[in-house]
Amino acid sequence: MNATDKKLGERVLHAVLYEACAMALLVPLASLLMNESVLHMGVLALMMSTVAMLWNMLFNALFDRFERARGLKRTVAVRCVHALLFEGGLVVMLVPLAAWWLNVSYWQAFLLDLGFFAFFLPYTYVFNWLYDHLRARLIERRALAAAME
C-alpha cells in the first residue's frame, strides 16, 4: 500500500483531521484579528471547512492519479506544487463566501484569504508531510504484525 492507495474512508479521515486541526488554530486568531465573535468566525470557518474538505478529497484524488500517471515521487518540489494548487483552488471558491458572510468587498475578502493562504500554505505542507510519514509507519507496523502471525 502506498500514498495513492487510499480508500474513501481514509480520505474522509485525512480531510477531517486536516480541517479540525486548522480550525482549532485559526478560528480564535481570526476572531481576534477581525474583531468578530468566535461564533461568527466559527460558522464561517465551518462553511469554509466544508468546502475545503470536499475540495481536499477531490483534489487529492486527482493529484494522486496525476502523480501515479507521471511516476512522480513526493519530493519537496512536488509537495510545494501540490500545496500551491490546492490553496489556489480554495481562493477561487472561498473569497465569494467570505465576502458574503462578513459583508465585505471581494477585495477585502481576498485580502483576508491571503492571510489564510499565508497560514495554510505551510500548514498544508507540514500536515501532509506528517500524515504521510505517520501513515507509512502504521502500514509498516501492520505489515510486520501480519508477517509475525
Give the model confidence (pLDDT) of 64-98 as tens digits: 999 999 999 889 999 899 988 998 898 899 999 99
User: Over the stretch 86-145, which tens digit does the pLDDT of each residue have?
Assistant: 988 988 999 999 999 999 999 999 998 888 878 888 998 999 999 999 999 999 999 999
Per the structure block, which three cell numbers stand in for 130? 506528517
Confidence of residue 2 (pLDDT cuts 50, 70, 90): low
Number of structural domains in the chain: 1
Q: Give domain status of residue 114, yes or no.
A: yes
Q: Give domain status of residue 61, yes or no.
A: yes
Cα–Cα distance measured from residue 8 to residue 36, given in angstroms and rounded to the nearest whole number = 36
Q: Give domain status of residue 82, yes or no.
A: yes
Q: What is the pLDDT of residue 76?
A: 92
**H-type helices in the chain, by residue range?**
8-34, 38-70, 76-102, 106-148
Q: Give domain status of residue 37, yes or no.
A: yes
Q: Give domain status of residue 1, yes or no.
A: no
Question: Which residues are CB-neighbours of 60 under 8 A, at least 6 positions away?
Answer: 6, 11, 14, 86
Does pTM top 0.95 for this prediction? no
Nearest of 88, 102, 119, 106 to residue 31 by alpha carbon: 102
Which domain does 42 fall in, by range?
8-148
